[in-house]
């Protein structure tokens, strides 16, 4: 098994819009594609994390509509699962009008199951000719069950994987960062070309986001007014924030994701890219460092899960980017990489994820700055060591420790956040009431 190829295939891909509602749309398309006739009813059940991330994020090509409901309706109407995480490319004004009509007639429902752990999306679509169901679990595109009129078409349980997700994750979970660097150094030109495409894609997204007058704009304004220095840190923050602004606003430009997340893909790729360019690092080395960033991000997700209560831009993508920056300048210096990872996680380990939304760009800014600072300190042989707090003797141990904090110490966070969101829903009556 080629771990790198598997990770790139399943976690580093173009995604048009926030990956959770887009995964809902993809699941709906998978189900609808099994049926004749147009979808007339869509039922969506998700885990708490998917519900949270789809709560307030704008869905592309919808004229500003937000959430999993519109995404599920559109996915069922588009019914082109071959588009995968770019499924909303298939939207047009007619389909959008039909989707809104389904919502207005309350033919689209959304609930969440608080017993589900990890990413879980279960969509049932009814048409005039029948009923179909698609279940994704353990990954945004990992189909574990597909049914048509009660007949089982796909059953991942038969392979022994069930909802655990892709098989490569078990192997990645046992790897070390040193082994990941071995993979990076063995990459071929076609691998580097794909990484280059990802950087270019995220730069296009950033340029579009600069025009929105959101977080990236105000960081740039602080530079213009002399309150921030015009340097690589500020440039990086402007780029990453602007790209996140564009995604969360639903602009029709894909991001190259990492760990199944567009925002994480922005941090994992653009931060090492900006720093590497600033220090005149060879392009090939920059691209190999970005590959390491993706691998480390994916490794962390093996422990924290796809949707952790702790912000993935901080403790997953930021960690990967910090390791990448050190790799660019110090090569395989594991001591320095350990310092960078420990410092970043110590800094941002408590950053909460309260769902995908415009405010994610603020967390991206914080992650970007902390990433560059942690890497710089490590390159100068300074950082947080195991003598302090919850960090470990190595990067791998620290990652396992923060995973324990997320899984055990913060086990009630998502439930509390969802309770707050549910209160908002009941006050506004703008969305169907979520179940407790």
Write out pLDDT tens, residues 321-345: 999 999 999 999 999 999 999 999 9
| CATH 3.40.50 applies to domain 16-164 | no
pLDDT band at 436 (very low <50, low <70, confident <90, very high): very low
- Is the Cα dihedral 427, 431, 435, 436 positive or negative? negative
Calculate mean pLDDT across residues 22-43.
96
User: Other C-beta atoms within 10 Å of 430: how many?
Assistant: 9
Confidence band (pLDDT; 50, 70, 90) for 249?
A: very high
Considering only residues 37 and 288, tell me which one the structure prediction assigns the higher pLDDT: 288
CA distance 24 to 275: 35
Of 41-45, 49-53, 335-339, give the lowest mean pLDDT range.
49-53
Average pLDDT on 231-260 reads 95
* Residues 124-156 pLDDT 10s: 999 999 999 999 998 899 999 999 999 999 988
The confidence score (pLDDT) of residue 434 equals: 41
Q: What is the predicted pLDDT for the residue at 116?
A: 86
Return the pLDDT at 334.
97
In which band, very low, low, confident or very high, does the pLDDT at 426 lie, cut at 50, 70 and 90?
A: low
Is the pLDDT at 425 greater than 80, yes or no? no
Q: pLDDT > 70: what percent of the chain? A: 95
Indicate the pLDDT class of residue 320, thresholds 50, 70 and 90.
very high
Q: In the prediction, which pLDDT does 158 show?
A: 54
Q: Which of 321, 328, 271 is nearest to 294 (CA)?
A: 321
Give residue 353's pLDDT.
Answer: 87
Give CA–CA dist 121/46, Å, rounded.
5
Instruction: Tell me the mean pLDDT in the region 18-43.
Output: 95
- Distance CA(425)–CA(251), nearest Å, equals 25
Mean pLDDT value across residues 361-369: 96
Question: For 155, phi and psi rounded to 5 degrees?
Answer: -145, 100
User: Is the predicted pLDDT of residue 389 greater than 60, yes or no?
Assistant: yes
Tokens of 411: 């086990």
Higher local confidence (pLDDT), 52 or 117: 52
pTM value?
0.91
Whole-number CA gyration radius for the chain: 21
- Which residue in 320, 243, 339 sits closest to 18, CA to CA? 243
Read off the pLDDT band of 433 (50, 70, 90): very low
Q: Which part of the chain is CATH 3.30.1330? A: 16-164
Mean pLDDT of the chain: 92
Mean pLDDT of 189-204: 98
For range 104-131, the mean pLDDT = 92
Report the distance separating Cα 117 and Cα 103, nearest Å.
28
């Amino acid at each position: 098994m080629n771990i790198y190829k598997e990770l790139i295939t399943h976690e580093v891909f173009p995604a048009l819009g926030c990956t959770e509602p887009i995964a809902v749309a993809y699941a709906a398309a998978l189900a609808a594609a099994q049926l004749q006739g147009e979808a007339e009813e869509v039922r969506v059940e998700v885990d708490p994390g998917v519900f949270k991330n789809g709560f307030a994020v704008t869905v592309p090509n919808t004229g500003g509509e937000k959430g999993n409901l519109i995404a599920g309706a559109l996915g069922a109407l588009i019914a082109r699962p071959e588009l995968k995480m770019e499924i909303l490319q298939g939207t047009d004004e007619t389909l959008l009008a039909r989707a809104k009509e389904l919502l207005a007639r309350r033919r689209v429902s959304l609930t969440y199951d608080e017993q589900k752990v990890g990413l879980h999306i279960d969509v049932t679509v009814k048409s005039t000719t029948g009923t179909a169901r698609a279940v994704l679990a353990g990954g945004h595109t990992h189909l574990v069950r597909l049914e048509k009129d009660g007949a089982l078409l796909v059953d991942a349980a038969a392979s022994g994987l069930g909802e655990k997700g892709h098989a490569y994750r078990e192997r990645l979970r046992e790897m070390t960062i040193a082994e990941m660097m071995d993979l990076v150094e063995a990459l071929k030109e076609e691998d580097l070309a794909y990484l280059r495409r990802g950087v270019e894609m995220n730069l296009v997204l950033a340029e579009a986001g600069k025009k929105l007058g959101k977080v990236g704009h105000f960081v740039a304004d602080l530079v213009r007014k002399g309150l921030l220095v015009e340097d690589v840190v500020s440039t990086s923050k402007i780029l990453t924030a602007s790209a996140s602004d564009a995604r969360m606003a639903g602009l029709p430009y894909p991001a190259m994701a990492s760990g199944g997340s567009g925002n994480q893909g922005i941090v994992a790729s653009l931060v090492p890219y900006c720093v590497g360019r600033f220090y005149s690092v060879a392009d090939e080395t920059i691209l190999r460092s970005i590959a390491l960033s993706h691998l480390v991000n994916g490794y962390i997700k093996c422990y924290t899960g796809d949707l952790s209560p702790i912000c993935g831009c901080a403790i997953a993508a930021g960690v990967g980017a910090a390791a990448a920056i050190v790799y660019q300048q110090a090569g395989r210096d594991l001591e320095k990489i350990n310092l960078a990872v420990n410092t970043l996680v110590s800094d941002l380990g408590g950053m909460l994820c309260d769902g995908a939304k415009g405010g994610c760009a603020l967390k991206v800014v914080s992650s970007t700055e902390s990433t560059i600072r942690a890497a710089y300190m490590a390159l100068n042989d300074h950082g947080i060591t195991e003598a302090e707090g919850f960090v470990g003797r190595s990067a791998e141990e620290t990652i396992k420790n923060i995973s324990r904090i997320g899984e055990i110490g913060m086990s009630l966070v998502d439930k509390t956040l969802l309770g707050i969101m549910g209160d908002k829903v009941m006050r506004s009556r703008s969305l169907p009431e979520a179940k407790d």
